[in-house]
Amino acid sequence: MRLEVGNIFIKDVQFGKKTEVKSGVLYVNKDELCKVAGEDERVKSVEVFLARPGESVRIIPVKDVVEPRVKVEGPGGILPGFMTGVEQVGSGRTHVLKGAAVVTTGKIVGFQEGIIDMKGTGAEYTPFSRTNNVVVKVEPIDSLKQHEHEVVVRLAGFRAATYLGLAGKEATPDEVKTYETKPLFEQSMKYTHLPKVAYVYMLQTQGLLHNTYYYGVDVKEIVPTFMYPTEAFDGAIASGNCVSACDKNPTYVHQNSPVIEDLYAQHGKTINFLGCIITNENVTLMDKERSSNMTAKLVEFLGADAVIISEEGFGNPDADLVMNCNKIEKKGIRTVLITDEYAGQDGGSQSLADSTPLGDACVTAGNANQVVTLPKMDTVIGYPEVANVIAGGWNGSLQADGSIVTEIQVITGATNELGFHYLTAKTV
Amino acid sequence: MGANFHILTNNPQVAEKYPTLSVSLSCGVEGIFLAARDEIHLGAVAINHPLSGSVKPNESPYKSLVLSLRRGPLDIDSLTVIESAIEVLRKMPVRNIDFHPRVLEDFQVIDLDLLNSAIVALPAQYHM
């Protein structure tokens, strides 16, 4: 499967008469976008705002971030199962408005989280302070229950991103990247001198506000399965996961899945990247046993020498991570784990809820309990009053001057477990 | 024949939906964890993970745990997971937030939904 990704660099976003890309600027027809995003009888109103890097703007509470993409050649469309049919995606050509993002905000439940600050300390902790954000604020009709409300906000974001993505259909990309994975036997014969590496891609799948979808299917309903890596770039994996902000994977992160990107960068050089296994993180202990058994089997079936395993979330997914690690290692296949930590505000506590001596190669994305002060912003998009009850905050988090003292777990993407971030630590 | 599992819960929505399966306890999350640990020491098996969901245990005041009624030899896996959950809870700071009743209802809905995910995926040896 071969996919060309054409990146159209977006340096700025502005409202305009027509939705189009001109000289690196994404112009957005606000009325049209509101209309498209609001095409659902369960939506009462939609408002659209712009938030650019460096502006004194806070977006709260953030539900999802989606990248505008469009299919220009090949089968299927972006976000299959939601915005198009269920044809297999991941081949042909896809255009991306690189540097633009749709951010959805909506008060689905009374306890809230998900902050994007475009400036100041908070901006350093979220990768989405560097994107030109089109913020879609969705107000549902009265009396809509929580389950439907989540669906309504999620789909409004997908429609908005699809609409904006169309602006890239006729544009000439600034760069084109090509990714290719051959069918398994062919692929494994291709670089016989290199270690064969697969990617175990764990997805949060527990229930309301904790779900992830593959071609529109709720992933807690599947058993682990194979995926061509390029499918992710076309939105085959979509997020319905709203908590915790720091270590959930927004749809944007799946579309740019950084582990896949990095494995492709080494493909044919230092490794032979065979493909992905997607697996779930369900609530019952038996589901965890079943899925980790199947994951280990599929890794063996691929003939991998090593795997990268990424986690989504904290707490019970630590059990899935440890089971996956143990069972794959016991087959003689080496693992590298990516997780984050809840090590207490002083960083001195046990980081994970489970552990294993076989997990001897582990990458951390940071301590979600780390406390920061987010300065007051001039503009707040969304619902500023919810800062009083944000997850990761406590009684008194919101200061009289408008600043917020809180743990970084409230910040969207602060400890992203796919490593989608600008912060890093290096040994010098 | 009755069910061969029960639900330890402090969530009124769970007790309402599963009146014959629920054991309602007037306590916080730690109380539910400790009651579950007691049962596990007496030979019960944990069916759902006590840290279900990404809503942290010091954040939501509600918790519902599914345990077998079977009393067999000590299930060390169940004991390990409940002990580590207690450890996680105790290291998290007390938040002291007086939630509005509507917010409490939302926490109840989330806890119920996570519990429902466990009930629909009950291992075959358990029945209602």
Write out chain A residues lying below 8 Å of B85, CB-based.
315, 353
Q: Which residues of A touch B56 (CB under 8 A)?
A: 244, 315, 391
- Give residue A392's pLDDT: 67
Q: Does A393 touch chain B (CB under 8 A)?
A: yes
SS3 A327: helix
User: B109 and A395 in contact by Cβ < 8 A?
Assistant: no
Taking CB atoms and an 8 Å limit, are B113 and A147 in contact across chains? yes
pLDDT at A389: 65
Q: pLDDT tens digits for A249-308?
A: 999 999 999 999 999 999 999 999 999 999 999 999 999 999 999 999 999 999 999 999
A319: chain B residues, CB-CB within 8 Å: 49, 81
Amino acid at A157: G
- A35 CA: distance to closest CA in chain B (Å): 29
- The answer to whether the Cβ–Cβ distance between A286 and B121 falls below 8 Å is yes
B126 interfacial to chain A (CB closer than 8 Å):
no
Determine the pLDDT at residue A391: 64
Query: How far is it between the farthest Cα atoms of chain A?
Result: 64
DSSP notation for B8-38: EE--HHHHHHSTTTEEE--S-HHHHHHHHHH
Distance CA B60, CA B81 (A): 19
Contact, A111 vs A410, CB < 8 A? no
Rounded mean pLDDT of A379-405?
A: 77
Return the residue of B nearest to A218 by Cα. Answer: B117
CB pairs under 8 A between A and B: 139
Q: Cα distance from A278 to chain B (closest Cα, Å)?
A: 19
- What confidence tens digit (pLDDT) does each residue in A303-324 have? 999 999 999 999 999 999 999 9
DSSP for residue A220: G
Beta-carbon contacts of A339 under 8 Å, excluding residues fewer than 6 positions away, are A311, A318, A321, A351, A352, A362, A363, A364, A365, A417
Please report, to the nearest 10 degrees, the dihedral formed by the alpha carbons of residues A268, A274, A280, A286 taken in order. -130
Instruction: Please report residues of B whose CB lies closer than 8 A to that of A313.
Output: 54
Question: Does an H or E element contain A226, and which?
Answer: strand A225-227
Contact flag A395-B123 (C-beta cutoff 8 Å)? no
Half-sphere exposure (CA, 13 Å, Cβ side) for A388?
A: 11
DSSP for A144-196?
--HHHHHHHHHHHHHHHHHHHHGGGSSSPPSEEEEEE---HHHHHHHTTTS-E
Residue A361 has pLDDT above 90, yes or no: yes
Under the banding of pLDDT at 50, 70 and 90, the label for residue A64 is very high
Cross-chain CB nearest to A109 (options B96, B98, B106): B106
pLDDT for position B102: 86
Answer whether residue B94 shows pLDDT above 90.
no
Q: Closest Cα to residue A316, out of B57, B9, B94? A: B57
Q: Please tell me if residue B109 touches chain A, with a CB cutoff of 8 Å.
A: yes
Chain B: residue whose CA lies nearest to A286: B123
Nearest CA in chain B to A207: B114
Q: Check CB contact of B53 with chain A, cutoff 8 Å.
A: yes
Cα B83 to chain centroid, rounded: 13
Question: What's the rounded Cα separation, in Å, for the pair A164 and A160?
Answer: 6
Flag whether pLDDT at B103 surpasses 80.
yes
The structure's pTM equals 0.96
Report the share of chain A in percent with pLDDT over 90. Answer: 87
* Cβ atoms of A247 and A392 closer than 8 Å: no
Chain B touched by A268 (CB under 8 Å): no
> Nearest chain A Cα to B95, which residue?
A394
Indicate if the pLDDT at residue A384 is higher than 80: no
Q: Is A209 on the interface with B (CB under 8 A)?
A: yes
Query: Tokens 């690690």 map to which residue?
Result: A325
Catalytic residues of A: 242
Do A116 and A103 form a contact (C-beta atoms < 8 A)? yes
The pLDDT of residue A239 is above 70: yes
Interface confidence (ipTM) of the complex: 0.93
Chain A contacts of B81, Cβ < 8 Å?
285, 319, 354
Interface of B with A in 73-102 (CB under 8 A): 77-78, 81, 84-85, 87-88, 91-100, 102
Domain ranges for chain B = 5-120
Helix axes A316-329, A285-302, angle to 10 degrees: 40
Alpha helices in A192-239 (DSSP H): 230-233
Average pLDDT, integer, range A154-183: 98
* pLDDT interval class at A78 (50, 70, 90): very high
Closest CA to A316 of A282, A350, A292, A342: A282
- Between CA A72 and CA B107 the distance in angstroms is 43
Chain B within 8 Å of A286 (Cβ-Cβ)? yes
Q: Is pLDDT of A385 > 90?
A: no
Choose among B54, B87, B122: nearest Cβ to A243. Answer: B54
Contacts of A101 (CB under 8 A, 6+ apart): A65, A66, A67, A68, A128, A131, A132, A133, A134, A252
Output phi, psi for B112, to 5 deg: -60, -40
CA distance B101 to chain A (A): 9
- Pick the range with the lowest mean pLDDT from A58-62, A109-113, B32-36, B70-74: A109-113
Is the per-residue pLDDT at B11 higher than 70?
yes
Which of B40, B49, B66, B97 best probes binding to A when mutated, by most A CB atoms within 10 angstroms? B49
Q: What is the dihedral of CA A212, A218, A224, A227, to 10 degrees?
A: -70
Q: Determine the Cα angle at B55 with ends A62 and A208, to 5°.
A: 70
What sign for the dihedral angle of Cα A423, A9, A128, A15? positive
Cβ of A394 under 8 Å from any chain B Cβ? yes
Interface test with B, best of A145, A208, A288 (most B CBs within 10 A): A208
Nearest to B57 by CA among B107, B112, B120, B109: B107
Q: Is A107 on the interface with B (CB under 8 A)?
A: no
For residue B22, the distance in angstroms to the closest alpha carbon of chain A comes to 17
Where in chain A are the domains?
2-410
pLDDT of residue B1: 65
